[in-house]
Structure 1
Amino acid sequence: MPLKHYYQGHHYYFITTITKNRTPIFEDTIACELFLNILTYHKFNCNYNIIAFVIMPDHAHIVIQPTNEENNISLIMKKIKGSFSRCYNKKYHRHGAVFQQGFYDRIVKDEKELEKTIDYIHHNPVRSKLVSEADKYNYSSYNFYHNNYKRFSLILHNDFD
């Protein structure tokens, strides 16, 4: 049975999407770059803000803020996952599902919870023992916030506030 999602406009959503069978497709930098490009494309296509992210080997965490009622979180994630899957399958000459069906989401209630959620996301690679410090992980918004790293400024700059 698919997960039910509760919609509240303009709120922050903590999203987790997991690869099918927890296959570590994001160990490949091309897959990570592709995922980021698709997040950025749909950010402008669907009018949402990305507050924070981390791409782990077999899942991704994202904090997304939809900015209009037309594009709810389910539609946004359907577009992101569908676009990524089509491109990934074409690139690697494969077919079939790339992600598990559905995704997990939680509405972030206030600024304190948002800070805790972002901290959780940024330190996920450390907890998973992929790196010793959060600033050593390449596919996270950590360095954008803490080290003035501009690489992800297009994806993280909130153009729709």
Structure 2
Amino acid sequence: MPYGLKRYQHSEQCHFLTFSCYQRLPRLRADQLRDLFVECLERTRRSYRFRVYGYVVMPEHVHLLVSESETEVLAKAIQALKISVAQRMRHYAGVGGTFWQKRYYDHNVRNYESFVEKLRYIHRNPVKRGLVEKPEDWEWSSFRHYMTAEAGPVEIESQWTADRRNGRTLKLPQLPGE
């Protein structure tokens, strides 16, 4: 978030976040480093009890679509996530120096159309960058959750996860001929 701009945070407010590696260096280019980020994201999500609706981990930046359960939790959670990732990168991968840019971009998502637009942007980012041909081919994204309704490494807040929490199972429609 640029200095001097006021952050409007309300509980349950959805946010589209982007944060980058220091000097936009591709510090997350290796598969195991993106895996490590995803593990830290899930751990932080549980600790700070925020909801993740979508994410993508790119080689030099991350996009998240999230909402906070309590006002003021999100900034603390992102700070904790960035610290956790940087520490684990130093310890396990020997990645030294400054890992993240200091600030992050935060856009309040105010309506359904904006939510869908941001989620599509997140899922299409690896394709747009030429990293894969189809969104489902990028492992470090929430796209597969929306495509298959299966649980992944990060709990994604959707009707499917709400049903799973409440003991209901999702019935996918049968295709003709099945």
Shared fold (TM-score, shorter chain, > 0.5)? yes
Letter in 1 for 2:120: D
For 1:156 and 1:50, locate their aligned partners in 2 and report how far apart those are by CA, in whole Å.
5
Structure 1 position 8, deviation (Å): 2.1
Q: Tell me what 2:149 maps to.
A: 148
Give the secondary-structure state (helix, strand or coil) at the position aligned to 1:155.
coil
Structure 1 position 3, deviation (Å): 6.0
Are the counterparts in 2 of residues 39 and 155 from structure 1 also a CA contact under 8 Å?
no
Q: Tell me what 1:15 maps to.
A: 17
Matched, 1:60 2:62: yes
1:37 to 28, 39, 61: 39
Moved over 3 A (4+): 1-4, 157-160
Are the counterparts in 2 of residues 17 and 100 from structure 1 also a CA contact under 8 Å?
yes
TM-score by length of 1: 0.89
Q: Tell me what 2:83 maps to.
A: 82
For 1:38 and 1:88, locate their aligned partners in 2 and report how far apart those are by CA, in whole Å.
11
Give the secondary-structure state (helix, strand or coil) at the position aligned to 2:18.
strand
Q: Tell me what 2:53 maps to.
A: 51
Using CA pairs below 8 Å that are at least 6 residues apart, which structure has the higher relative contact order?
A: 1
Structure 1 unpaired stretches of 5+: none
For 2:105 and 2:15, locate their aligned partners in 1 and report how far apart those are by CA, in whole Å.
10
Structure 2 unpaired stretches of 5+: 166-178
Letter in 1 for 2:61: H
RMSD between superposed Cα atoms in Å: 2.0
**Count of residues paired in the alignment:** 158
Structure 1 position 94, deviation (Å): 4.2
Deviates more, 1:115-124 or 1:27-36: 27-36
Flag the structure with larger Rg. 2
